[in-house]
Chains A and B, each alone.
Chain A
Amino acid sequence: MSYPAKLEAIISLFEGLPDPEKRETLIAYSDQAKAQEPGEGESFDLEDIRKDEECTDTVAVFLRIDDAGGAHFRIALGPQVQTLTKAMSSILCKGLDGITPEEILEIPADFVPRIVGAELVRLRSQTVYYLLTRMKGIVKVWLRRKQAGRD
């Protein structure tokens, strides 16, 4: 399947990079993770904030649906979240911005190794997939509520 245009552009960028530059670019995206946090006074249609005491840290996903039906995400991450996951939060907030909830549910996770590269995709790095799962999760809830509102 084809990816949303913004995500496709990011995938293409990474696929053209040699490994050292890929790492640098991932770090640059991870440095932008803070910028994906909710801004002062921003309001959302749904919020999903969860913390895991054992290992990973807080992952808070905020969803706003605009009047045209486009989804906009904000993500706040605790300090212990892995660098790859931080990078993926920036990539996904930008790459999925403005597409519909239905389109988000259709996105397969197979773009992750295309961005991250085979060397960095490890069992213990698979929280990069977790973010997309969480984003799909909040979108599903929004769709269910919307459906319930119609029924």
Chain B
Amino acid sequence: MSIDSNYVHPEVLVTTAWMADHLKDDGIRIIESNEDVLLYDVGHIPGAVHIDWQRDLQDHTVRDYIQPEAFAELCRRNGITPETTCIFYGDKSNWWSCYALWVFRLFGHTKVRIVDGGRDKWIAEGRPLTREVPAFAPVDYPVPSARLDREIRAFYDDALAQSKASRPLIDVRSPGEFKGLVTHMPEYPQEGVLRGGHIPGARSVPWKEAVNADATFKSAAELKAIYQENLGLKTDDDVIAYCRIGERSSHTWFVLNYLLGFTKVRNYDGSWTEWGNRVGAPIEKSV
């Protein structure tokens, strides 16, 4: 399977076959990001480094992302310079790799790619895994001048303003979560949400609609049908996507931003674990 050239930015995806042929290329870094905390240790694409969404990207003392200094240090120790093309892949149809990519974009790192189909496709095709952890000589990564929170990230107030102004809000969680029937995915832990429902005015488009059974992204035509024809969005719409903690919505952010070329998409990473608990935050149920 090749990458659909009709995506607005097809260059942001690489196939598993391409990845297998370019493992030792200069100027790239393969990065695995997973939900399963031990999966990288079980085996990973040769040469891949592990970036853990909690340990490496978040600052739990303030429920926020790391600061630019820490991001620069993360890149330095993984042999990543501003010129390095970071190729992300992972489990769960690339939820966490899209999340990590999105965080890299928060720090202005634009040379990013996703392995279409992620870890599952790589394994399904019988491609090699290793337990060998690569080591890289430290390189220079200047501290980014800022984190680009205003450009691709939405906060509670942004989501509230979006709701009040009836601008597009996409709820990418499962239908049961959207309707308020459950506060978590089936068989998943309850992540501390007190109320079920969705942000008023949000439309339900589960992230899953954007992927095929093999975890690859659907074609440009199929994605356009979902988001533009059925949902009525335009590529210059101001769109905010959210889920429960921001990882599934990173996946949808990636689809809208890169594959369909939307120019103003933001990921509300506080998502339902913030909105559902926030005092005074209005919700709707069962639409």
Tell me the A residues contacting B by CB distance below 8 Å.
23-24, 26-27, 30, 50, 52-56, 80, 82-84, 87, 119-120, 122-127, 130
> Do A122 and B54 have beta carbons less than 8 Å apart?
yes
Q: How far is the CB of B123 from chain A (nearest CB, A)?
A: 9
Q: B19-27, B105-113, B161-169, B183-191: which one contacts chain A?
A: B183-191
Given contacts A55-B92, A122-B54, contact A30 B38 (CB under 8 A): yes
Whether the Cβ atoms of A30 and B186 lie closer than 8 Å is no
Residues 177-199 of B, flagged 1 when their CB comes within 8 A of A and 0 if not, give 00000000111110110000000
Residues of B within 8 A of A (CB): 35-39, 41-42, 54-55, 91-92, 174, 185-189, 191-192
A120 to B39, CA, bound (A): 12
B187 touches A83 (CB 8 A): no
Contact between chains at B189 and A123 (CB < 8 Å): yes
CB-defined contacts of A119 to chain B, threshold 8 Å: 55
- Decide: A82 and B187 in contact? CB cutoff 8 A: no
Chain B residues with CB under 8 Å of A56's CB are 186-188
* Residue ID in chain A nearest B176 by CB atoms: A54
27 A-B contact pairs sorted by A residue (CB < 8 Å)? A23-B41, A26-B38, A27-B41, A27-B42, A30-B38, A30-B42, A52-B186, A53-B186, A54-B185, A54-B188, A55-B185, A55-B186, A55-B187, A56-B187, A82-B36, A82-B37, A83-B41, A83-B42, A84-B38, A120-B37, A122-B54, A123-B189, A123-B192, A124-B189, A127-B187, A127-B188, A130-B187
Option from A23, A53, A80, A127 in Cβ contact (under 8 Å) with B189: A127
A84 to B37, CA, bound (A): 8
- Docked complex Cα distance between A53 and B176 (Å): 13
Complex contacts, B54 vs chain A, CB 8 Å: 122
Distance from B188 Cβ to chain A, minimum over Cβ atoms (Å): 6
Of A54, A123, A127, the residue contacting B191 (CB under 8 A) is A123
Residue of B37, B186, B188 most packed against chain A (CB within 10 A)? B37
Q: Does B188 contact A125, Cβ atoms closer than 8 Å? A: no
Output the nearest chain B residue to A119 by Cβ-Cβ distance: B55
| Chain A neighbourhood of B42, CB < 8 A | 27, 30, 83
Rounded to whole angstroms, the CA-CA distance of A24 and B133 in the bound complex is: 13
Q: How far is the CB of A82 from chain B (nearest CB, A)?
A: 4
Kindly list chain B residues whose C-beta atoms are within 8 Å of the C-beta of A55.
92, 185-188
Q: Write the chain B residue with the least CB distance to A126.
A: B189
A-B pairs with lowest CB-CB distance, top 4: A83-B38, A52-B187, A126-B189, A82-B36
In the complex, how many angstroms separate the beta carbon of B126 from the nearest chain A beta carbon? Answer: 14
Q: A130 vs B189: C-alpha distance in the bound complex, in angstroms?
A: 9
Q: Contact check: which of B35, B38, B55 meets A124 at CB < 8 Å?
A: B35
Inter-chain CA distance A119–B37, complex, in Å, is 10
CB proximity of A104 to chain B, nearest CB, Å: 21
- Complex CA–CA separation, A122 to B38 (angstroms): 12
Contacts of B189 in A (CB 8 A): 123-124, 126-127
Contacts of A53 in B (CB 8 A): 186
Contact B36 A83, beta carbon cutoff 8 Å: yes
Contact residues in A for B174 (Cβ distance below 8 Å): 54
Q: Other than A30-B42, A82-B39, give 20 A-B pairs with Cβ distance below 8 A.
A: A24-B41, A27-B41, A30-B38, A52-B186, A54-B185, A54-B187, A55-B185, A55-B186, A56-B187, A82-B37, A83-B37, A83-B39, A83-B41, A84-B36, A84-B38, A120-B38, A123-B191, A127-B188, A127-B189, A130-B187
Residue of B nearest to A130 (CB): B187
